[in-house]
Amino acid sequence: MKKSDKTLHLGAFLYAVGHHAGGWRYPDNEISSLLDLEYYKKVAGIAEKGKFDLIFFADRLAIPDRFGNNFNNSIRYFASFRLDPVALITALSAVTSRIGLVATASTSYNEPFAVARAYATIDHLSKGRAAWNVVTSTNDGEARNFGRDAHFDHATRYERA
């Protein structure tokens, strides 16, 4: 086995208070810090120091539909609010030096030039550490946030992608 075959690559999937719907109730959670850049700088620094290859921020352009598209239930049971991941990785590019910075952007609700420009900017500022998690979106709430009654059909979403 070659030396390179033994390399383990690690990525941190950063999502609010974790992937457990009741994670916000954990006594040591930092839910009050989710809108604070210092929190993300701390987490990114820990991941970078721990030799992680990347940090990843998922995104959805609406509240999760698993709570009936009800804002109050979504916030109560699943801290679903998020900062814009593209803006967040841009800020983190200035305070990290090695770790990859990955953010989600939807091809259904972003124009190609705008996405390309944003990620090219981050990639240049971070010296090649930016990556795009391409999604086509799946939630009708996203469509409503962009003035549409319904989500694009599957074929249209993938043609745009």
Measure Cα distances from 40 to 61, 79, 109, 153, 154 in Å: 20, 16, 26, 35, 34
8 domain-assigned: no
pTM of the shown model: 0.82
Ramachandran sector of residue 127 (left: φ over 0; alpha: ψ -120 to 50; beta: rest) = left
Please report whether residue 32 resides in a domain: yes
CA distance 86 to 125: 13
- At 97-118, the pLDDT tens digits run 999 999 999 999 998 899 999 9
Judge whether 10 lies within some domain: no
Q: Please report the pLDDT score of residue 7 as a whole number.
A: 86
pLDDT top residue among 56 and 73: 56
Boundaries of domain holding 43: 15-160
Higher pLDDT, 143 or 119: 119
Q: CA triplet 143, 89, 93: central angle to 5 degrees? A: 160
pLDDT band at residue 14 using 50, 70 and 90 as cut-offs: confident
Higher-scoring residue by pLDDT: 153, 3: 153
CB distance 64 to 139 below 8 Å: yes
Give the chain's domain count: 1
